[in-house]
Amino acid sequence: MRTLPNSADLPDVLAFMQGLWAVVHRMERLSKQMGASVGVTGPQRLVLRMIALFPGLSAGDLAAVLHLHPSTLTGVLRRLEAQALVARTSDPEDRRRTVLRLTRRGARASASTKGTVEGAVAVAFARTGQNHRAATRRFLDQLATCLDREIARTR
């Protein structure tokens, strides 16, 4: 019987990538389950949470905060608007500008973390010390910067 290699058998970079892909895959699986059980996917819920925390953001501002291309966010917002979870309104300070707000239904969908990616992350955070979380955040920021450089370099 053949034994499969585990992360201890891999160089650090590959072991990290293996772990990162495992997290991404599980987030995608839970996101699909959320669509069926909660009514919104993980990315849709993230948009709801950001609008709940920062009401009055424009779609462009939200795309920038989430590091998404505006066209990617457009589809998410359309689905949330179709479900009556998000509404676009005129900015009271500049009528030419449209801002995003949660509807009452959107506020309810944003409130509970049960069965969500956010809930799982919150549990992991509760089990991890502040110093470790801060170091992980710094590493993820550094990784994102390095990925951006590779994207720019290979265009």
72: domain CATH number is 1.10.10.10
| pLDDT score for 130 | 96
In a domain? residue 81:
yes
| 90 & 153 share domain | no
pLDDT of residue 145: 95
pLDDT the model gives residue 60 = 92
86 plus 146 within the same structural domain = no
Instruction: Please check whether residues 33 and 77 belong to one and the same domain.
Output: yes
Q: Is residue 13 part of a domain?
A: no
pLDDT at residue 33, as a whole number? 95
In a domain, 97, yes or no: yes
Residue 143 is part of which domain span? Answer: 113-155
pTM of the model: 0.86
Q: Residue-wise pLDDT tens for the chain (155 aa)?
A: 778 877 788 999 999 999 999 999 999 999 999 999 989 999 999 999 999 999 999 999 999 999 999 999 999 999 999 999 999 988 888 888 889 999 999 999 999 888 999 999 999 999 999 999 999 999 999 999 999 999 999 88
Number of domains in the chain: 2
Spacing of C-alpha 49 from chain mean position: 10
Q: Residue 16 domain-assigned?
A: no
Judge whether 147 lies within some domain.
Answer: yes
Report residue 85 CA to chain centroid gap: 17
Distances (CA, A) of 3 to 6, 57, 64, 85, 133: 9, 52, 45, 49, 34
Claim to verify: residue 106 and residue 123 sit in the same structural domain: no
User: What tokens appear for 42 in the block?
Assistant: 């993980």
Same domain, 72 and 38: yes
Is there a domain that residue 9 lies in? no
**37 and 78 housed in the same domain:** yes
Query: Residue 40: its pLDDT value, please?
Result: 94
Phi, psi of 56 (to 5 degrees): 95, 5
**What is the spatial distance between Cα 100 and Cα 58, in angstroms, rounded to a whole number?**
6
Helix (H, G, I), strand (E, B) or coil at 73: helix
